[in-house]
A and B are shown apart, each in its own frame.
Chain A
Amino acid sequence: QKEVEQNSGPLSVPEGAIASLNCTYSDRGSQSFFWYRQYSGKSPELIMSIYSNGDKEDGRFTAQLNKASQYVSLLIRDSQPSDSATYLCAVIITGGFKTIFGAGTRLFVKA
């Protein structure tokens, strides 16, 4: 069974701090990795994609990938209360047409 594991949280950070979210995956052959944000009662929204080892930055978000360790992370700099949401790590399974989602980490940013 291909799995994506995340710490469910909640992770609580003060406004302006860096939030660090982590994810591990079991399918060593996976090539495409994503972070989605899901507000309560809403649908997932794609915020970052990463395909090669290293860092990828987009505004306040940085995704990090380490394929050898099968580890993906998301850093949110200058966290805002509006960043409070559940962050879903997602992986495309090798040879398949589906994306597998982790259970998500709930983030609270305190004003």
Chain B
Amino acid sequence: EPEVTQTPSHQVTQMGQEVILRCVPISNHLYFYWYRQILGQKVEFLVSFYNNEISEKSEIFDDQFSVERPDGSNFTLKIRSTKLEDSAMYFCASSEAGGSYGYTFGSGTRLTVV
């Protein structure tokens, strides 16, 4: 069964450092997403991406965040200057049709900012 692959599975970084989280969506999917889940809290929408541009973003997705599809397979989330409150599980997801059939999530990257 096709999978969404995320790397790394766990990243520890110092406050103020830049991090890049990587995702390889399912190859025939056209819509890509980043969500985050702070421990014990709900899964929160960050950003959706289609046709090489952001289609929607949340209030959380401020100027410290950016996304990129640098080639035909990878989809990255960059956090420019990490804060303690950025510590969370970050999930990448992809879908065929704008999410109408649901998402396939990757296994996540646990980001710990110290």
Please determine whether A98 and B106 come into contact, CB atoms closer than 8 angstroms.
no
Question: Interface of chain A, helix or strand or loop or mixed?
Answer: strand
A59 to chain B, nearest CB (A): 16
A32–B102 Cα distance when bound, in Å, is 9
Number of B residues near A (Cβ < 8 Å) is 25
Q: Which residue of A lies closest to B35 (CB)?
A: A101
A57–B43 Cα distance when bound, in Å, is 26
Find chain A residues with CB under 8 A from B35 CB: 101
Please determine whether B31 and A97 come into contact, CB atoms closer than 8 angstroms.
yes
A49–B96 Cα distance when bound, in Å, is 14
Q: Which residue of B lies closest to A47 (CB)?
A: B102
Listed A/B pairs (21) with beta-carbon separation below 8 Å: A34-B102, A36-B102, A43-B91, A43-B108, A44-B43, A44-B105, A49-B101, A88-B43, A90-B102, A92-B98, A97-B50, A97-B55, A97-B56, A98-B45, A99-B33, A99-B45, A99-B99, A101-B42, A101-B45, A102-B42, A104-B42
Q: Can you add 9 more A-B contacts, CB < 8 Å, to A43-B108, A98-B99, A99-B99?
A: A46-B102, A90-B102, A92-B100, A97-B55, A98-B58, A99-B33, A99-B45, A101-B35, A104-B42
